[in-house]
Amino acid sequence: MEKELRFSYDQEGDILEIFKGKPKEAISKDVGDDIWIKVDPKTEEILGFTILGFTKRFSQKGLLKKIPVMAEFVAD
């Protein structure tokens, strides 16, 4: 089943959250470098991720950073 990506950005906290599908219960797991994955506690499916210090991390022009998350994109 395909799911939409949902984005949320907290400017005050400088936190970017990206989730697939509708919000649901999840647990957070630290994967390092201020990146957390959100995982379904029953199925262990990755539901999304959170990046702390988003603009500080990605605001430098030409800066390319990797995050430890694999993705597959499908167009409608």
What the block records as the tokens of 29 is 């797991």
Domain regions of the chain by residue span: 5-58
What the block records as the tokens of 73 is 């994109």
- Whole-prediction pTM: 0.74
**Tens-digit pLDDT profile for residues 60-69:** 666 666 666 6
Top pLDDT among 75 and 40 is at 40
d(CA 48, CA 58): 19
